[in-house]
Structure 1
Amino acid sequence: MTAFTVLGASGYIGSRLVAHLRGQGHAVRAPARGDADIFSQPLGHAIYCVGLTADFRTRPFDTVEAHVGLLAEVLQRAQFDSLLYLSSTRVYLGAASTEEDAPLSVVPGDPSYLYNLSKLTGESLCHASGRAGVRVARLSNVVGPGMDAQSGNLVADLVRQAQQGAMLLRSHPDSAKDYIHIDDVVRWLPRIALDGRSTTYNVASGRQTRHGQWLEWLGEHYGSAFEVQEGAPLQQFVPISVARLQAELGVVARPVWGDDSH
């Protein structure tokens, strides 16, 4: 039995990670937001799932506090055997390569980049902290049961629409992203935390799934009609490299679509 602490355990990833770890027989603490005990009691292996997604544009200060401020306190004050910080493959926006050590591009004047910049600041803080056992996991687009339709996740929104009988896709059907199933995420994160030999990992499937495929799969599953908004833009996303993850852990992503993906 290994001791874990999941920070941000009330969120989609954090809550499922807690359930998975407990199901594996581990001792898991899931402190509530603002619980000062995280600075006075050993955390064991800490996994930092605190973060904002869809509402980061309207909550810039909360975004920085979640991605950087609280993290800084944990790195300075908390006792832990290891710490795994959850970042995002969104940081590759505008980059020529998605290998973990590749140079990245940012546009500070664009409000949309606040998410990327705050995540990268959190990553840099992890690397500069001088603490042993601190690693970063850049997560791709996570899908699975219980997705929040208000999260800004394309698939969660399409599922909500499909359940209501009709879907409208506002991007070109040939737009594609890397999607990773929540089951893979919760299985792989503890392995990275305990056995990772590198400091940064892409947690992704390594496959591009077209938006049109989601329309077809969800339409068939729910018997829902669908259409594409006229003039919908084509969104190009660079494929995410998973070479490091596969080489070190030997993992293969499960299909993102299945009977339990809704």
Structure 2
Amino acid sequence: MNWTVLGASGAIGRRLVGYLRQTGHVVYTPERGDPGVWTRPLGHVIYAIGLTADFRQRPFETVQAHVSLLAELLQRADFDSLLYLSSTRVYGRATSGSEDAPLTVLAQDPSDLYNLSKLMGESLCLHGGRSGVRIARLSNVVGGDDAESDNFVPSLLRAAQSGHIELKTAEESTKDYIHIDDVVELLQRIAVGGQHRVYNVASGQQLRHANWTHRLAALTGCSVGTAPGAALQQFVPIDTTRIRTEFGYTPRPALSVLDSMPASTPQVSP
């Protein structure tokens, strides 16, 4: 089977390309500006282009990544299917984490630029007139080789290895995390045979910040503190009924990504 992965240099894209090739598929990974995107059959497309932690400082690039190139692909490209990677961040102001829940955004909030651009991308996928187009809303993906990322778990790992974690949000804050190996397996299945247009790709399980910090402290011997006035952040639980029912999905434990951590951090002499 022929695949095209757009955004193959990112953490999810790299892992997905490796998984597809290991399972016998042919994978095309065009770089930015590659004219082959417009001149060759692309097979099954995974649209993994996106900005995450730095989107607030790069608003125009965020819209270009999440909307502009997608719009051109939907109009011009030759593909069998296209799976657009969105995010469960779009539930940030919602009261339900179901794929069909009404969603609210606030244009005055710079953090909502991300949600607005992802939702515009989703809307193009749903109403652009092309068949075989689906959406995967990814939760907080852990694992892979994104050690330098500014996202929460990679930042914790670096802090633990330095000897001390200082949380900026309360230990009882919660999020849904999904193992990257679950992600790549689900994306392949959704892209080729998904019966719905929109899927939450999440574990369906809420983990507290304390779950991560306590495990890291036990593994590395690091100390843990919380910044004064740290806010409590609790996100709506993500509904995974659709992937559990359709694909028989059972999540890997997200905390298992810490199993390769060193036994302890080096001790610094006084």
How far apart in 2 are the matches of 1:229 and 1:110?
24
1:201 partner SS: strand
2:111 partner SS: helix
Q: Name the TM-score, length of structure 1 as normaliser.
A: 0.97
Matched, 1:187 2:182: no
Q: How big is the shift at 1:94? A: 1.0
How far apart in 2 are the matches of 1:148 and 1:112?
23
Measured against aligned partners, the alpha-carbon deviations of 1:25-77 in whole angstroms (never above 9, x if no partner) come to 11111111111211110000000000001111111000000000000111111
Q: How big is the shift at 1:96? A: 1.4
How far apart in 2 are the matches of 1:147 and 1:32?
19
How far apart in 2 are the matches of 1:260 and 1:99?
31
The question of whether the paired residues in 1 share the 8 Å contact of 2:4 and 2:42 is answered with yes
User: Hey, what does 2:173 align to over in structure 1?
Assistant: 175
User: Hey, what does 1:200 align to over in structure 2?
Assistant: 198
How far apart in 2 are the matches of 1:71 and 1:206?
28
Identical-pair percentage: 58
Matched, 1:130 2:129: yes
The question of whether the paired residues in 1 share the 8 Å contact of 2:46 and 2:82 is answered with yes
How far apart in 1 are the matches of 2:254 and 2:205?
10
How far apart in 1 are the matches of 2:32 and 2:8?
9
Further displaced range: 220-229 or 79-88: 220-229
User: Hey, what does 2:107 align to over in structure 1?
Assistant: 108
Ranges of 4+ aligned residues in structure 1 off by more than 4 Å: 259-262
Q: How big is the shift at 1:223? A: 2.1
Q: How big is the shift at 1:261? A: 6.3
How far apart in 1 are the matches of 2:38 and 2:218?
50
The question of whether the paired residues in 2 share the 8 Å contact of 1:140 and 1:203 is answered with yes
User: Hey, what does 2:24 align to over in structure 1?
Assistant: 25
User: Hey, what does 1:154 align to over in structure 2?
Assistant: 152
The question of whether the paired residues in 2 share the 8 Å contact of 1:143 and 1:261 is answered with no
1:230 partner SS: strand
How far apart in 2 are the matches of 1:204 and 1:240?
7
Q: How big is the shift at 1:147? A: 2.4
How far apart in 2 are the matches of 1:36 and 1:221?
48
Report the aligned-residue RMSD. 1.1
Q: Name the TM-score, length of structure 2 as normaliser.
A: 0.94
User: Hey, what does 1:44 align to over in structure 2?
Assistant: 43
